[in-house]
């Protein structure tokens, strides 16, 4: 069974600094997708970034980038130049095929605090 582990329940960073959120996963599939979602206090789940497992190049979206290590089954998120609006719960998610349907397996989340 696929599992996703986020080992940091909480993280904090100074505004304008860089922070890295960790995520590891377990799977026997060779082709899959990984995602980071952000959930601010408004509770809307917002897609931050996605990575296709067959691509060796790490995905980047503006200040957000990932370090995807397929062999190590690691998928960390780096946020550069942290802003107050980045404060949120961040969920790492793995897209698996279960019972013939695509399903997301979520980690437990990391709550990120930005200190002004």
Contacts with another protein by CB under 8 A lie at: 33, 35, 37, 42-47, 50, 52, 89, 91, 95, 98-104, 106-109
Closest to another protein by CB, 10 or 17: 10
Residue 73 CB, nearest distance to another protein (Å)?
Answer: 19
- Give the span between the Cα atoms of 108 and 114, in whole angstroms: 20
Q: How far is the CB of 99 from another protein (least distance, A)?
A: 6
Tokens of 11: 């993280």
Q: Which is nearer to another protein, 19 or 92 (CB)?
A: 92
Q: In the complex with another protein, which residue's Cβ is closer, 11 or 45?
A: 45
CB 81 to another protein: min, Å: 25
Look up tokens 């909480």; give the residue: 10
In the numeric block, the tokens 């296709």 are attached to 52
* Residue 40 or 84 with smaller CB distance to another protein: 40
User: Cβ distance 10 to 3 under 8 Å?
Assistant: no
Distance CA 7, CA 24 (A): 8
Number of neighbouring beta carbons within 10 Å of residue 35: 20
- Minimum distance between the CB of residue 106 and another protein, rounded to whole angstroms? 4
d(CA 42, CA 75): 26
């Amino acid at each position: 069974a696929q599992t996703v582990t986020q080992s940091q329940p909480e993280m904090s960073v100074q505004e304008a600094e860089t922070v890295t959120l960790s995520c590891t996963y377990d799977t026997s599939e060779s082709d899959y997708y990984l995602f980071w979602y952000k959930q601010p206090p408004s509770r809307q789940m917002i897609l931050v970034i996605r990575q296709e497992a067959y691509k060796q190049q790490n995905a980047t979206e503006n200040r957000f980038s990932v370090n995807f290590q397929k062999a190590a089954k690691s998928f960390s998120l780096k946020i550069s130049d942290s802003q107050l609006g980045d404060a949120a719960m961040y969920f790492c998610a793995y897209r698996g095929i279960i019972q013939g349907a695509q399903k997301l397996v979520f980690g437990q989340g990391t709550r990120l605090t930005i200190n002004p």
